[in-house]
């Protein structure tokens, strides 16, 4: 073969990069790891492995563990969800949801938030996320007099019912379910009135 000829190899075309999909995969993996292990015991290398990426991408997209944790917290709260709530049906819908068994995804998200609340390293980060992405939208949705205080009470009741549902681990049935839904509906109707 003459020296001037080049050999071409059959190579797969380069894989198209999708930063948004990669970032989303990292966030999902992070929420799962933080939910299972808490902030202190979670390792970026394990998150990268679960997301199928190199750990350098976590640092590139999020700046490190604290930045990733903060973004995972923000992703756990959907402030736009409140826009879909109807004042007429909210109380009953929440009561029925709390009577049911939570799906695995919501359970993991809530466990992530509970672990964040109990860690001195992450509780301040959680406080900021709760204020910006949970309480503020609730306050705006409620409006009216004492909206801030009413938002806190509504959030506390909601979180309390989430904990009860998580501990219970099974849906309510029969007469107990009917009584539960009736009383929880009345409670939330009072809170939004």
Q: What is the CATH classification number for the domain harbouring 57?
A: 1.10.10.60
pTM of the full predicted structure?
Answer: 0.73
| Domain boundaries, position 44 | 19-68
Three-state DSSP state, 70 = helix
Domain shared by 109 and 185, yes or no:
yes
Q: What's the alpha-carbon Rg for the chain, to the nearest Å?
A: 22
> Is residue 23 in a domain?
yes
Helices (H) and strands (E) in the chain, counts: 10, 0
**pLDDT given at position 80:** 64
**pLDDT given at position 105:** 65
> Is residue 158 in a domain?
yes
> Is residue 98 in a domain?
yes
**pLDDT given at position 82:** 66
| 2-6 long-range contacts, CB within 8 A, separation 24+ | none
Domain shared by 47 and 85, yes or no:
no
Domain shared by 54 and 81, yes or no:
no
Regions of the chain where pLDDT drops below 50: 1, 4-15
Closest CA to 21 of 49, 53, 64: 53
Domain shared by 28 and 110, yes or no:
no
The tokens of 15 are what? 């894989």
**pLDDT given at position 104:** 67
What is the per-residue DSSP string for 115-184? HHHT-TTTHHHHHHHHIIIIIHHHHHHH-STTHHHHHHHHHHHHHHHHHHHHHH-S---HHHHHHHHHHH
**pLDDT given at position 77:** 73
Number of structural domains, the chain? 2
Task: Enter the DSSP assignment of 58.
Answer: H
> Is residue 47 in a domain?
yes
Domain shared by 101 and 183, yes or no:
yes
Q: Measured between alpha carbons, how far is 47 from 27 in angstroms, rounded to an integer? A: 9
Neighbouring residues of 139: CB distance < 8 A, sequence distance ≥ 6: 147, 148, 150, 151
Domain shared by 84 and 168, yes or no:
yes
């Amino acid at each position: 073969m003459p020296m001037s000829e080049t050999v071409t190899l059959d190579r797969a075309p380069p894989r198209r990069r999708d930063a948004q999909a990669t970032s989303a995969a990292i966030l999902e993996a992070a929420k799962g790891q933080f939910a299972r292990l808490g902030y202190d015991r979670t390792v970026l290398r394990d998150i990268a492995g679960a997301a199928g990426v190199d750990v350098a991408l976590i640092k590139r997209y999020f700046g490190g563990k604290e930045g990733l944790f903060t973004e995972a917290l923000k992703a756990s709260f959907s402030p736009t969800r409140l826009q879909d709530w109807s004042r007429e049906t909210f109380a009953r819908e929440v009561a029925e949801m709390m009577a049911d068994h939570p799906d695995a995804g919501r359970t993991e998200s809530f466990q992530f938030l509970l672990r964040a609340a109990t860690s001195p390293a992450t509780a301040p980060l959680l406080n900021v996320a709760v204020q910006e992405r949970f309480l503020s939208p609730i306050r705006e949705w409620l409006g009216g007099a004492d909206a801030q205080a009413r938002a806190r009470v509504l959030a506390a009741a909601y979180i309390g019912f989430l904990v009860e549902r998580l501990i219970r681990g099974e849906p309510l049935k029969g007469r107990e379910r009917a009584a539960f839904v009736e009383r929880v509906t009345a409670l939330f109707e009072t809170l939004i009135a």
